């Protein structure tokens, strides 16, 4: 009996090792399969569009593509980033800057989805139940309405998420967390990229307070101007992206206030931001116009949040904008 024990433990160890190796292989296969299956939408980009213009140009993404060939430009190379290429970008960035890349996400659940999409592409760990119905967990485990600061040292990258479903909450985050101050980041830790967006919760507040739509949208615009004044105080080396409200891919039948939750309302919120940026004539905040177009992939599970294909495309745009300037050799 005792002679059989060592063989038993060896068998258990070997079995566990094989299971682990199979899991790693299957994870990598899933990442590569997702990239291959979805690249056709994204990879064929307008050959005259510089990388930064991926965020703002209507011509940046061709919805009717059949090729997965990336375009080579004088200004940059547009590509579909594999997991390994994205990881190499992050390692090269750290080698150049002597610190991990730093992304800050400020806003509602759609903004959190972008954080989760970057983490999934880099690690294979999926926590976004809004785009993947198979993700399970309690509210405490998911921490959906909480601030979360995470550094993935093996990548390496720092991903900070600040739950701010209303613009004035986002302004508080910028004021107390992002601006160099005693209570915020040291100046050397200001994020390389700030991704911010919110709006639909403003509609919920207006409905609860019985504010009419005209006044509601005017307040939204006033709040954004306050936020914009704070963004101007962040170092110009930080890329700040405003994520617009996406049009609804299904009718808001889940709400008795469907006239509020409509494409017309979303367009009004977006127009308020666009006109504010135009009047301010500032380049400190980039309006992510192509976000609206990627959402038209209409694979959202609920009509409001990003579906897996839309999220994947947006994450690829972020990698192109961030990584194409990072020396890869």
Predicted confidence (pLDDT) per residue in 279-292, tens digit: 888 888 999 988 88
User: What pLDDT shows up at residue 325?
Assistant: 75
pLDDT confidence band for 31 (50 / 70 / 90): very low
- Judge whether residue 162 has pLDDT over 80: yes
Could you read off the pLDDT of 239-271 as tens digits, one per residue?
A: 999 999 987 756 554 456 667 878 888 999 999
Total residue length of the chain: 329
Q: What percent of the chain has pLDDT over 90?
A: 40
pLDDT at 36 over 60: no
Residue 119: name the closest of 106, 107, 101 by CA.
101
Per DSSP, the three-state class of 196 is strand
- Tell me the three state secondary structure of residue 284: coil
Please say whether the beta carbons of 74 and 64 come within 8 A: no
Burial 204-229 (b: 16+ CB within 10 A, else e): eebbeeebeeeebbebbbebbeebbe
Coil, helix or strand at residue 20:
helix
CA angle 148, 152, 154 (to 5 degrees): 170
CA-based nearest residue to 103, from 8, 215, 229, 189: 189
Between CA 54 and CA 149 the distance in angstroms is 27
pLDDT of residue 9: 45
pLDDT for 127-153, tens place per residue? Answer: 998 888 888 765 545 566 889 999 999
Q: Residue 203 is encoded by which pair of tokens?
A: 């509609």
Both tokens assigned to 136: 């399970």
Beta strand 285-287 with 239-242 is parallel
Q: What confidence category does residue 6 fall into, taking pLDDT thresholds of 50, 70 and 90? A: low
Is the dihedral angle over the CA atoms 265, 269, 270, 271 positive or is it negative? positive
CA 8/CA 319 separation, integer angstroms:
48
The predicted structure's pLDDT at residue 152: 95
Radius of gyration in angstroms for the set of CA atoms belonging to the chain, rounded to a whole number: 22
Backbone CA torsion sign across 224, 225, 231, 236: positive
Residue 297's pLDDT is 63
Q: Is the dihedral of CA 261, 269, 293, 80 positive or negative?
A: negative
Q: Can you give the pLDDT at residue 4? A: 52
Bridge-based pairing state of the strands 101-107 and 157-163: parallel
pLDDT computed for residue 268 by the predictor: 93
Q: What is the mean pLDDT of the chain?
A: 77
Alpha carbon distance 170, 195 (integer Å): 11
pLDDT score at 222: 96
Span 189-195, average pLDDT: 91
Per-residue pLDDT at 111: 96
Nearest alpha-carbon partner for 70 in 58, 85, 55 = 85
Instruction: Give the domains, in start order, of the chain with CATH numbers.
Output: 70-323 (3.40.50.1110)
* Strands 157-163 vs 148-152: parallel, antiparallel or unpaired: antiparallel
User: DSSP string covering 40-96, please?
Assistant: HHHSSB-TT--GGGGGT-GGGB-SS----PPPB-SS-B-----HHHHHHHHHHHHHH
Quick one: tokens of 58?
A: 């209507």
79-130 pLDDT, tens per residue? 789 999 999 999 999 999 999 999 999 999 999 999 999 999 999 999 998 8
Using CB atoms within 10 Å of the CB of residue 26, give its burial: 0 to 12 exposed, 13 to 18 middle, 19+ buried: exposed
pLDDT value, residue 71 = 37
CA–CA distance, 116 with 83 (Å, rounded to integer): 14
Residues 149-162 have a mean pLDDT of 95
CA–CA separation, 39 and 312 (whole Å): 9
């Amino acid at each position: 009996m005792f002679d059989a024990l060592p063989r038993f433990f060896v068998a258990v160890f070997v079995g566990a090792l094989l299971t682990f190796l199979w899991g790693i292989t299957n994870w990598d296969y899933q990442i590569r399969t997702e990239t291959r299956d979805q690249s056709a939408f994204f990879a064929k980009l307008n050959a005259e569009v510089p990388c930064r213009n991926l965020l703002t140009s209507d011509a940046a993404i061709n919805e009717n593509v059949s090729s997965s060939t990336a375009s080579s430009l004088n200004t940059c190379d547009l590509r579909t980033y594999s997991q390994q290429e994205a990881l190499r970008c992050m390692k090269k960035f750290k080698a150049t800057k002597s610190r991990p890349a730093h992304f800050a996400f400020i806003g509602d659940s759609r903004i959190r989805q972008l954080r989760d999409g970057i983490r999934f592409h880099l690690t294979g760990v999926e926590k976004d139940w809004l785009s993947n119905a198979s993700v399970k967990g309690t509210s405490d485990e998911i921490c959906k309405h909480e601030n979360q600061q995470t550094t993935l040292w093996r990548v390496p990258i720092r991903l900070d998420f600040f739950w701010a479903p209303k613009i004035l909450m986002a302004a508080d985050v910028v004021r107390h967390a992002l601006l160099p101050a005693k209570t915020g980041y040291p100046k050397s830790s200001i994020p390389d990229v700030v991704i911010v967006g919110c709006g639909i919760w403003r509609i919920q507040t207006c409905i609860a307070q019985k504010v009419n739509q005209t006044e509601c949208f005017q307040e939204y615009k006033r709040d954004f101007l306050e936020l914009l004044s704070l963004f101007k105080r962040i170092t110009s080396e930080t890329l700040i992206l405003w994520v617009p409200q996406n049009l609804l891919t299904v009718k808001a039948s889940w709400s008795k206030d469907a006239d509020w939750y409509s494409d017309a309302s979303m367009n009004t919120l977006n127009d308020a931001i666009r006109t504010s940026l135009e009047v301010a004539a500032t380049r400190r905040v980039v309006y992510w116009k192509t976000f609206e177009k990627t959402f038209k992939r209409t694979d959202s599970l609920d009509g409001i949040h990003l579906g897996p294909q839309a999220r994947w495309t947006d994450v690829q745009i972020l990698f192109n904008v961030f990584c194409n300037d990072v020396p890869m050799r």
